[in-house]
Amino acid sequence: MTEKVNRRKFLRGSAVAGAAALATPAIADGHGVTLKMQAAWGGGIFLENAQSFAARVNEMSGGSLTIEVLSVDAVVKTSQMQDAVHRGVLDAAHYVPAYWYGKSKAASLFGTGPCFGWSSQEVLGWVYAGGGQELFDELMAELRLNVVSFFNSPMPAQPMGWFKEQITDASQMEGLKYRTVGLAADVLLEMGMSVVQLPGGEIQPAMKSGLIDAAEFNNPTSDRDFGMQDVSKHYHLASFHQSQEFFEVTINKDKFNALSDDHKAIIKNASMAENSGFYWGNTKRYSDDLLKLQEADGVNVYRTPDSVMAAQLAAWDKVTARIAEDDPFFAKVMESQKAYAKDVMNYLNLNQPDYKLAYNHYFG
Q: Tell me the whole-structure pTM to 2 decimals.
A: 0.89
Segment 306-362, tens digit of pLDDT: 999 999 999 999 999 999 999 999 999 999 999 999 999 999 999 999 999 999 999
Q: Tell me the C-alpha to C-alpha distance, in Å, between residue 185 and each of 103, 142, 189, 319.
A: 15, 24, 6, 10
- Residue ranges, CATH 3.40.190.10, the chain: 161-242+298-355
Are the beta carbons of 258 and 233 closer than 8 angstroms?
no
User: How far apart are the C-alpha atoms of 362 and 238, rounded to whole Å?
Assistant: 23
Bridge partners of 237, per DSSP, are: 303
The DSSP 8-state label assigned to residue 25 in this structure reads P
Predicted local confidence at residue 201, as pLDDT: 81
- At residue 5, does pLDDT exceed 60? no
- The pLDDT confidence band at residue 29, using thresholds 50, 70 and 90, is very low
Q: How far is CA 156 from CA 29, 145, 278, in A?
A: 40, 29, 11
Q: Which residues contact 290 (CB under 8 A, 6 or more apart)?
A: 220, 237, 301
What is residue 31's predicted lDDT score, i.e. its pLDDT?
Answer: 59
Structure confidence at residue 12 as a pLDDT band (50, 70, 90): very low
Q: Is the pLDDT assigned to residue 82 strictly greater than 50?
A: yes
User: What's the pLDDT at 6?
Assistant: 41
The answer to whether the beta carbons of residues 246 and 185 sit under 8 Å apart is no
* pLDDT at position 192 over 60: yes
Q: What is the pLDDT of residue 101?
A: 87
- Report the topology of domain 161-242+298-355: D-Maltodextrin-Binding Protein; domain 2 (3.40.190)
**How do residues 202-258 score in pLDDT, each as one tens digit?**
899 999 999 999 999 899 999 999 999 999 999 999 999 999 999 999 999 999 999
Check: CB of residue 236 under 8 Å from CB of residue 304: yes
Contacts of 173 (CB under 8 A, 6+ apart): 167, 188, 191, 192, 193, 308, 311
Any idea which fold 18-156+244-286 has? D-Maltodextrin-Binding Protein; domain 2 (3.40.190)
Residues of the chain with CATH 3.40.190.170: 18-156+244-286
pLDDT band at 26 (very low <50, low <70, confident <90, very high): low
For 198-212, b/e burial (b = at least 16 CB within 10 A) is bbbbbbbbbbeeeeb
Query: In this structure, are strands 92-95 and 245-252 parallel, antiparallel, or unpaired?
Result: antiparallel
